[in-house]
């Protein structure tokens, strides 16, 4: 059994991680940590009982010895948590976004120094990772590409990080920019979307979406559409469970779920 502590357990993603870990036979939920903790225990789903709930990861690790910390918190919180976890010989799986290359260097150094594994994945959705991978493969065979990404109306930024990464990787795979037809006359500003390496990116913001993306590739007489729809946060569960099972076999940092999926 791999014992898991969830950091940020009361957040939107944290709750999804708690559910995913409870549903995975090879994993055991050792505890939950969240600064919002106002009680000592957390009721786990399906009547499986209660687990310890702490407000601070350091205090939790003084009392318990999990194998893996899964973190979905926020950028200013995650690095101190990783330092504490690795010093305590705990492997780390990180979903929190917004990390820099310096952060990656430090995580790799810390995990090697303390002989543990680390996985940082900006996207734990297996389908989204495959959508990006397939788009990369297709990129070489098409001259035109556009991305339509669709998210809930509360998303703060646009285009999405996934759309930007997809476009960058497609242009790199093609080793050239795509052909980007400009409008002779733009009836409204921004009508052709944002432009990255010739790929027009269009952002839809509306209730009813969690995270969707369609990559449309075109060449003479044909189009190829690669679409992924994230319907709810449960969809991240299989990717997170995969990362937890793999991180205990690693030494050092792996960035991206694709490497753990053998892509
Ligand atoms: N990698 C992915 O696939 C993926 C998917 C969705 C979201 N995210 C990222 O995950 C992160 C969390 O997203 P969310 O929507 O769950 O946010 P959220 O605000 O719902 O949850 C964050 C939780 O962290 C807790 N927290 C904050 N400071 C803390 C501290 N010092 N110690 C312990 N707990 C603390 C908060 O109380 C909150 O419960 C964000 O960075 C988001 O971008 C990643």
pLDDT value at residue 98: 85
Return the H-helix or E-strand segment holding 194: strand 194-196
pLDDT value at residue 84: 98
Q: pLDDT digit string (tens) for 51-74? A: 999 999 999 999 999 999 999 999
Distance CA 28, CA 14 (A): 15
Q: pLDDT digit string (tens) for 121-160? A: 999 999 999 999 999 999 999 999 999 999 999 988 899 9
pLDDT value at residue 222: 97
Mean pLDDT of the chain, nearest integer: 96
Phi, psi of 77 (to 5 degrees): -105, -30
- Asked whether the beta carbons of 69 and 247 are under 8 A apart, the reply is no
Q: pLDDT digit string (tens) for 212-245? A: 999 999 999 999 999 999 999 999 999 999 999 9
96 CA: nearest ligand 1 atom: 41
Determine which residue's CA is closest to atom 27 belonging to ligand 1: 73
Q: pLDDT digit string (tens) for 195-210? A: 999 999 999 999 999 9
Distance CA 21, CA 162 (A): 25
* Cα 184 to ligand 1 centre (Å): 44
- Quote the DSSP letter at residue 121: -
Residue 45 reports pLDDT greater than 90: no
Give 49 or 116, the one with higher predicted confidence.
Answer: 116
Around Cβ 108, how many Cβ atoms within 10 Å? 17
Check if 77 has its Cβ closer than 6 Å to any atom of ligand 1: yes
pLDDT value at residue 229: 98
Determine which residue's CA is closest to atom 15 belonging to ligand 1: 12
Q: What angle do CA 248, 102, 107 make, to 5 degrees?
A: 15
Check if 89 has its Cβ closer than 6 Å to any atom of ligand 1: no
Around Cβ 153, how many Cβ atoms within 10 Å? 10
239 CA: nearest ligand 1 atom: 3
* Omega before residue 159 within 30° of 0, cis: yes
pLDDT value at residue 47: 73
Residue 1 reports pLDDT greater than 90: yes
* Cα 14 to ligand 1 centre (Å): 7
Q: How far is CA 231 from the centre of its chain?
A: 15
CATH numbers and ranges of domains, the chain: 2-120+234-260 (3.40.50.720), 126-231 (3.30.360.10)
Check if 60 has its Cβ closer than 6 Å to any atom of ligand 1: no
pLDDT value at residue 156: 86
123 CA: nearest ligand 1 atom: 3
46 falls in which pLDDT band (50, 70, 90)? Answer: confident
Percent of the chain at pLDDT > 90 equals 94
Q: Which residues are catalytic?
A: 151, 155
């Amino acid at each position: 059994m791999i014992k898991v502590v969830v950091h940020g357990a009361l957040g939107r993603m944290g709750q999804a991680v708690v559910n995913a870990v409870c549903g995975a036979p090879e994993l055991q939920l050792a505890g939950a940590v969240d600064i919002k903790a106002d009680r000592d225990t957390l009721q786990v789903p399906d009547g499986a009982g209660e687990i310890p709930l702490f407000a601070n990861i350091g205090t939790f690790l003084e009392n318990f010895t999990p194998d893996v910390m899964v973190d979905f918190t926020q950028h200013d919180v995650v690095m101190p948590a990783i330092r504490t976890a690795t010093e305590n010989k705990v492997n780390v799986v990180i979903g929190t976004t917004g990390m820099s290359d310096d952060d990656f260097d430090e995580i790799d150094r810390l995990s090697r120094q303390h002989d543990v594994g680390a996985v940082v994945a900006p996207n734990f959705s297996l389908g989204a990772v495959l959508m990006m991978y397939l788009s990369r493969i297709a990129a070489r065979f098409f001259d035109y590409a556009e991305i339509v990404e669709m998210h809930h109306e509360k998303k703060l930024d646009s285009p999405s990080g996934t759309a930007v990464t997809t476009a960058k990787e497609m242009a790199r795979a093609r080793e050239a920019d795509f052909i980007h037809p400009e409008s002779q006359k733009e009836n409204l500003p921004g009508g052709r979307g944002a432009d990255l390496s010739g790929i027009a990116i269009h952002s839809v913001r509306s209730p009813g979406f969690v995270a969707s993306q369609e990559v449309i590739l075109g060449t003479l007489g044909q189009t190829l559409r690669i679409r992924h729809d994230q319907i709810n946060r449960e969809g991240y569960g299989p990717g997170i469970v995969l990362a937890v099972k793999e991180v205990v076999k690693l030494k050092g940092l792996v960035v991206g779920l694709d490497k753990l999926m053998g892509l």
